[in-house]
A and B are shown apart, each in its own frame.
Chain A
Amino acid sequence: MKQGILILLFLVSAIVGRSESEFDHYQEIFDRANALYKDGQTEEALAQYEQITKAGYESAALYFNMGNCYFKQKDLPAAILFYEKAKKINAGDSDLTFNLDLANAQTVDKIEALPTLFLADWWHSTVRSMSEKTWSIIGLTAALIFWICLALFLFSRSTTIKRLTFLAGIFLLVFTGLTMTAAWQQKQRLLTQTEGVLFAPTATVKSEPSETGTELFIIHEGTKVGLLEQEGNWQKIVLADGNVGWVKIDDLAMI
């Protein structure tokens, strides 16, 4: 029995991969960068943050801080890009929402979002309010409680406990399913790039993926667009108001 636990621990550490000390190292860099930011040295801070991202690490806090650096440097599209990256990992942060709204208020294009179905809207905002890890942990906890309820339901002789655990069990089963779906959706969202930010000062949106296409409308830097399909150097985009067209890929940065 003891041997089994040891093997499990070994496996877990092998999967998580990095040693604790490496995390500590990057946490140190993070703290150093934060201190630089506090002194107003946003450029140096940004260089430190970039060390972390180049090493293959990310977190909502890291992207949020990088967004702040770009905002202070008045690089609006980059600021929006990093806020959106942070939002992709964890949308439930009120500071993030505030800063992103502030940055968006300074962009040129004011695009009215299409009204969405209330239920779908509610579901999406709920899913995005927590990270994939948080959802997974909640789901696992719910699953654990479900099994306990099932055990109590089967073994208890008291009808009150049986009744209670039966109801709780059904609820927990549904809840586990929903949280796992949320975690899965968050993971899929992070795996696929479905949104981008316009980096070019202005971009003409064409009706087809070529220079000769009719000019449909103009968008300006910092505008968030949804990504549809690609065709050579051209990216089909959809705006929040539902307008669809083609822009050059180089003009965009993927979130």
Chain B
Amino acid sequence: MQRLLLIICLFLGLSAGAQNTQLTATVSKNKIAAGQQFQVTFSLNSSGSSFRPPKFDDFIVLSGPNQSTNMQFVNGKMSSNMSYSYVLSATGTGKYTIGAASIRANGKTYESKPIQMEVVKGAAPRQQQGRQQAQPNQPQQRDMSDDLFARLSVNKNAVYQGEQLVATYKIYWRVNIVDNSMGDLPSFTGFWAEDIEIPPASQIQTEVIKGVRYSTAVLKKVVLFPQSSGELELPSMSLNVVVRVQSGQRRRSLFDQVFGTYKDMKYEVRSNTAKISVKPLPNSGRPENFAGSVGTYSLKANVNKETVKANEAINLNIVLTGKGNLKLLEKPNIEFPPDFEVYDPKIKDNITTNANGVSGSRTFEYLIIPRHAGEFQLDAIEFPYFDPKQKKYLTLRSDDFNISVTKGDEESSSSYSSVNKEDLKFIGKDIRFIKTGPAFLSEKGWFFFGSFLFFVLLLIPPAAFILVLLLRKKYADYSSDTAGLKRRQASKVATKRLKKAESFMKQNETNAFYEEVFRAVYGYLGDRLNISASELNKDNISEQLTTRKVPPTTIASLINILDRCEMARFAPVNDISPQQVYNETATVIGTIEKELK
């Protein structure tokens, strides 16, 4: 394997060395009039031998071969140059070919490319020029398009929207340019343009086109990114040049003969335009988060730590490397946990624009500060893009990041939590002391409200109220019955009166005694039989007592007592002592009381 590699390297080195040596054939003009002279030069940028010119069958060799050799030492390196030139003229008109010449150099044979010549009829352009009175600083009518022109070339004619292409404006000349100034600068509408800087050292080069050697210089080299689809036109570019040409006038003086006569003429060199067909990006398979990136990319993302304390910063670096319009890359759309404080990413570019287009890398540096503890996940970072080579959408995906945030230091977190005006009163204050003394414990889930005890206590007052109400009603009934009361108290009242009578008797106040006995009996009977005082008389009493089945003897003795009392009030009673009356009254009342029960 290694040997194979070595061989390949050697071969590449050889071929690279061989590239340096070449035999180029150039003509002074490839469009001539019949009979006009022109020069053919075969030049070798090395030293060679055994030069074999082609056969000039269709031309007349006027002079040659004129050989010249050139040797140079630059920085100790030798370079040599050989050239063989012929002056020819054509006889007939038509298209002819100058064949290939060959030469041996470095042990190899090199061949030049054949050159197409076109011979036309008519006078030589040079003679025409001679007749013209051309003024300097006046644009020349003379056709210089063969000797001085500008070209626009693109590396691609058909691209996708957003795909880069390189456009190059070049000027070709084989005349003596004295001065130049920029004319119209192209404006690339519909494109994002990125100029490629041209190193000044490599400004002027030589190039052979159709056998004619030209000096060339790059006027402008630009990387273009089409921003819209369709047929887009790259505009032309122009350059104003002043060309010094040999005057066609006859030499009038010796001075003229020695130095020649010349004229300065102003030309506008304008390049061609170019059409670019821009294809729109396909709709099928377009990722949802596609932001319009076209090219080839690779993605790298990493965080500097996955375990942090709250309020500590994390760096998230996302590097996108590739070819494409890196300068238009937007920051990737990342869903950060809402509790993360995320600052706008710092963008670092390492982008080069050269003949191959725009390439390099763009780095997004995120600074993330998690404000609170917890386990967080940063979802994979996705970058979708369109690859014009594979003609499809691709998505780059990084790994998921799991970030665990532990509790930060107290100080830093308190510095974050904003203390508003209302909270200011609590700064520097401590909580109040615990409750000591009775804990007033109660069983969990036990409630006084709705408990049995509660209902008992709730119902005691109304129950007591109802009880009072009932008792009161009973009392009211009892006290409202006056007749019954009198009846019940009749014997008591009678006994009281009799006692009073007894005391009168002992004091020998007989009148008062009888009075009292009379009252006692009447009062007793009135109360007992429920007879009002006005209706109370002996007849009424006896009648009532009879109906109540009191024995007639008792009624008779009662009437007797009442009679005696009435009599005693008016006249002294001698047949019976007060003591006897008293005893009799007590007996009668007792008997009636018994009978009426």
Out of B423, B448, B456, which one reaches A105, CB within 8 Å?
B423
Write out the residue numbers on chain B whose beta carbons fall within 8 Å of the beta carbon of A34. 434-436
Given contacts A136-B454, A155-B472, whether A26 and B420 have CB atoms under 8 Å apart is no
Return the contact of A59 from the options B339, B436, B439, B445 (Cβ within 8 A).
Answer: B439
Is A56 within 8 A of B456, CB to CB?
A: no
B424 — nearest CB in chain A belongs to which residue? Answer: A105
Q: How far is the CB of A88 from chain B (nearest CB, A)?
A: 12
A178 at interface by CB-CB < 8 Å:
no
Q: Is B417 an interface position by the 8 A CB rule?
A: yes
* CB-contact partner of A18 in B420, B443, B445, under 8 A: B443
Q: Given A18-B443, A105-B426, A202-B372, do A12 and B431 touch, yes or no (CB 8 Å)?
A: no
The answer to whether the Cβ of B407 comes within 8 Å of any Cβ in the partner chain is yes
Subset of 12 A-B contacts with CB under 8 Å: A26-B441, A52-B441, A57-B442, A64-B434, A74-B410, A95-B435, A105-B423, A132-B447, A132-B448, A132-B449, A201-B372, A202-B374
Cα-based distance from A154 to B469 in the complex (angstroms): 9
Confirm or deny: A249 has a beta carbon within 8 angstroms of a beta carbon on chain B.
no
Across the two chains, which residue of chain B brings its CB closest to A67? B431
> Is B339 within 8 A of A16, CB to CB?
no
Residue A190 interfacial (CB < 8 Å)? yes
- When A and B form their complex, which 4 residue pairs have the shortest distance between CB atoms, in order from nearest? A61-B435, A147-B461, A201-B373, A65-B434
Q: B residues touching A (Cβ–Cβ < 8 Å)?
A: 337-339, 372-374, 407, 410, 417-420, 422-423, 426, 429-436, 438-454, 456-458, 460-462, 464-465, 468-469, 472
Q: A23-41 interface mask toward B, CB cutoff 8 Å, 1 = contact, 0 = none?
A: 1001100110010010000
Contact at A204–B449, with CB atoms within 8 Å?
no
Bound: A33/B23 CA distance, A: 108
Given A12-B453, A201-B374, 6 further pairs, Cβ under 8 A: A15-B451, A59-B442, A61-B440, A68-B431, A74-B410, A217-B338
B596 → chain A closest CB, angstroms: 37
Minimum CB–CB distance for B307 against chain A, Å: 15
B458 touches A140 (CB 8 A): yes
Distance in Å: Cβ of B310 to nearest Cβ of chain A = 8
Q: Is the CB of B453 within 8 A of A15?
A: yes
A63 CB → nearest B CB, Å: 10
Given contacts A57-B443, A58-B441, A60-B440, contact A204 B448 (CB under 8 A): no
Which residues between 3 and 23 of chain A lie within 8 Å of chain B, taking CB atoms?
A: 8, 11-12, 15-18, 23
Q: Which residues from chain A contact B443 at a C-beta distance below 8 Å?
A: 17-18, 56-58
User: Taking chain B's interface residues, is the majority helix, strand, or loop, or is none over half, making it mixed?
Assistant: loop
Q: Taking the complex as formed, is A71 at the interface, i.e. its CB lies under 8 A from any CB of chain B?
A: yes
**CB <8 Å contact, A136 and B449:** yes
A133 within 8 A of B: yes
Given contacts A71-B431, A102-B426, A143-B458, contact A108 B441 (CB under 8 A): no
Instruction: List residues of chain B with CB within 8 A of the CB of A60.
Output: 440
**Distance (whole angstroms) from the CB of A232 to the closest CB of chain B:** 21
Residue of A nearest to B472 (CB): A155
Q: Would you give the shortest CB distance from B510 to chain A, in whole angstroms? A: 48
**CB neighbours of A47 from chain B (8 A):** none
Contact indicator per residue, chain A 137-148, by CB within 8 Å of chain B (1) or not (0): 100100110111
> Are A202 and B462 in contact (CB-based, < 8 A)?
no
Count how many chain A residues have C-beta atoms less than 8 Å from C-beta atoms of the other chain: 69
Assess whether A135 is interfacial by the CB under 8 Å rule. Answer: yes
Complex-state Cα separation, A22 to B197, whole angstroms: 95
Contact of A37 with B434 in the complex, beta carbons under 8 Å: yes
Instruction: Please provide the chain A residues from 200 to 255 with a CB less than 8 Å away from any CB of chain B in the complex.
Output: 200-202, 204, 215, 217-218, 220
Known A61-B439, A105-B423, A133-B448; contact A68-B461, beta-carbon cutoff 8 A: no
What's the Cα separation between A27 and B410 when bound, in Å?
36
Say how far B57's CB is from chain A's closest CB, in angstroms.
Answer: 86
Chain A interface mostly helix, strand, loop or mixed? helix
B468 to chain A, nearest CB (A): 6
The contact of B450 among A27, A68, A146, A187, by CB within 8 Å, is A187
- In whole angstroms, what is the CA distance A108 to B439 when docked? 33
Instruction: Pick the contact of B468: A12, A56, A151 (CB < 8 A).
Output: A151
In the complex the two chains form, is B435's CB within 8 Å of A102's CB?
A: no
Complex Cα distance, B436 from A74, in Å, reads: 22
- Give chain B residues whose Cβ lies under 8 Å from the Cβ of A148: 461
Instruction: Let me know if A144 and B461 touch, CB within 8 A.
Output: yes
Considering the chains assembled together, what is the distance between the CA atoms of A95 and B430 in angstroms? 11
Report which of A12, A30, A95, A105 forms a contact with B439, defined as CB distance below 8 A: A30
A222 to chain B, nearest CB (A): 11
A193 to chain B, nearest CB (A): 13
* Alpha-carbon separation in the docked complex, A204 to B472 (Å): 72
Min CB distance A177 to B, Å, is 13
Interface status of A62 (Cβ within 8 A of chain B): yes
Residues of A with C-beta under 8 A to B442: 57-59, 133
Q: What does the 1/0 interface line of A154-179 toward B look like (CB < 8 Å)?
A: 11000000000000000000000000
**Distance to closest chain B CB from A159 (angstroms):** 19
| Known contacts A15-B453, A136-B454, A151-B468, A56 near B432 by CB under 8 Å | no
CB distance from B341 to the nearest CB of A (A): 12
Contact assessment for A58 and B431 in the assembled complex, using a CB-CB cutoff below 8 Å: no
The 8 A CB mask of A106-137 against B (1 = contact, 0 = none) is: 10101000000000000000000000110111
Instruction: State the Cβ distance, B224 to closest chain A Cβ, in Å.
Output: 42
- Which residues of the other chain, A, contact B441 by a CB distance below 8 angstroms? 23, 26-27, 30, 52, 57-59, 62
CB of A108 within 8 A of CB of B417, answer: yes
Whether the pair B338, A11 counts as a contact (CB closer than 8 A) is no
Closest to A27 in B: B439
Q: Is the CB of A135 within 8 A of B431?
A: no
A154 to B466, CA, bound (A): 12
In the bound complex, what is the Cα–Cα distance between A113 and B568 (angstroms)?
106
CA distance A203 to B299 in the complex (A): 32
A68: chain B residues within 8 A (beta carbon): 431, 433-434
